[in-house]
Structure 1
Amino acid sequence: MARVAALGAVIAAAVLVALLFLGGGDSYNVTARFLNAAQLVKGNEVQIGGVPAGTVEDIQITSDGRADVTIKIEERFTPLRVGTRAVIKQRSLSGIANRFVDIQLGDGDGAEIDDGSLLAEDSTDTAVELDQLFNLFDPVARVAVQDFLEGSRKMIAGRGQQLNQGTKYLNPTLSTGGRLFRELSRDEVLLGQFLEDSSTL
């Protein structure tokens, strides 16, 4: 009898160790569907609020050319809630392998997103690559972009301190501007016209 009890204790201990060291099945994964993977690769970092929060586990291309990106989220950040967005960003304009997924949390009162769920394309966004952006333009629009950038450079020349002081007031404007450029980027003609008009201001 004592031998049976001892054997049972050993088995229970082995199961406990397996649960502790093999994860116990409490990993949390969601799949985010992006228009394109924007040079994201397996193993890239996932962040929440600028803090490392997980990794890219897998990337699969759908039949219609979208990218299904499976991301693993650390338990302390789970569960995600309805309204959460996933955005592929780049750490800098230089380099290729510098992408990460930025998870922008939804309302804390939103319904929980189950493990294994899909974040649809309307809940994701992808950073615009500069070369892709310029490839949209015809020669006239490219000249307009150059004029626009040169005009911006001249406008802020020698005003670094004023610019730094003003940036704290820009967040609402930048948020609105981000939405504007996402819409403009869907229409090549409209975007080109916007830049041409802006270069003459």
Structure 2
Amino acid sequence: MNTNSHVEIAVGLFLVLGLVAFGWLALRLGEVSWLTGGSTYTLYAEFENISGIKTGSEVQIAGVSVGSVAELHLNEDGKAIATFKLNKGIQIPKDSIASVKSQGIIGDKFIRIMPGGDETNYQSGEIIADTESSLDIESLISKFALGGVK
């Protein structure tokens, strides 16, 4: 074998190893559940008003991000349903409360879960029963400005 064929073999091996590494990284970051075992689970919550929350908003417990909002839609009763993807190690007791909160006065909105003390936890696919909807500051200001506050 000449020197050119050694270089071509080395370059070929380098490319194959690079493609394998890229494929593994793409599958790992894309969280393909059948390959990685999945690092999240899904919970749902029903709100009267979820204004300001969008797909990708954080889900927090005690100020620590434990997941994100994966989807928002309306149910047949016209209530907002938020789908959460939570980290697998996080357990949410059955008497927990999910509420829409704001980071500061005009900051981004997020979902805060206040864990309860129940011994049984929500399982993947269940709906959080107790929720507190978003506070609509605009309607409060308009009520105050127009004299509707008593």
C-alpha spacing 1:100/1:19, structure 2 compared with 1 (3 Å): closer
The structure with more strand, counted as a fraction of residues = 2
TM-score (norm 1): 0.53
* Residue deviations 1:52-97 (CA, integer Å, cap 9, x gap): 100001001122221100011112212x1111111111102225xx
Between the aligned partners of 1:102 and 1:94, the Cα distance in structure 2 is 16
* Residue deviations 1:119-155 (CA, integer Å, cap 9, x gap): 13xx0012312102223457234xxxxxxxxxxxxxx
Could you tell me whether the CA contact under 8 Å between 2:51 and 2:134 is conserved in 1? yes
Corresponding residue number in structure 1 for 2:135:
128
The gaps in structure 1 that reach 5 residues or longer are 1-16, 142-191, 194-201
Between the aligned partners of 1:45 and 1:19, the Cα distance in structure 2 is 21
Could you tell me whether the CA contact under 8 Å between 2:94 and 2:128 is conserved in 1? no
1:156-195 equivalent positions in 2, closer than 5 A? 192-193=149-150
Task: Determine if the alignment matches structure 1 residue 116 to structure 2 residue 122.
Answer: no
Corresponding residue number in structure 1 for 2:35:
22
Q: Alpha-carbon deviation of 1:32?
A: 0.5
Q: Alpha-carbon deviation of 1:26?
A: 5.4
The structure with more helix, counted as a fraction of residues = 1
* Residue deviations 1:3-53 (CA, integer Å, cap 9, x gap): xxxxxxxxxxxxxx9989833145311101011111200001111111110
2:75 corresponds, among 59, 62, 65, to 62
Corresponding residue number in structure 2 for 1:31:
44
The gaps in structure 2 that reach 5 residues or longer are 1-27
Task: Determine if the alignment matches structure 1 residue 102 to structure 2 residue 102.
Answer: no
3-state SS, counterpart of residue 72 of structure 2:
strand
User: How big is the alpha-carbon RMSD for the aligned residues of Structure 1 and Structure 2?
Assistant: 2.5
1:81-96 equivalent positions in 2, closer than 5 A? 81-94=93-106
Corresponding residue number in structure 2 for 1:158:
none
Residues paired across the two proteins, number:
121
Between the aligned partners of 1:24 and 1:106, the Cα distance in structure 2 is 28
Whichever residue aligns with residue 35 of structure 1, its letter is E
Could you tell me whether the CA contact under 8 Å between 1:83 and 1:110 is conserved in 2? no
3-state SS, counterpart of residue 30 of structure 1:
strand
Could you tell me whether the CA contact under 8 Å between 2:39 and 2:87 is conserved in 1? no
Between the aligned partners of 1:73 and 1:136, the Cα distance in structure 2 is 37
C-alpha spacing 1:115/1:21, structure 2 compared with 1 (3 Å): closer
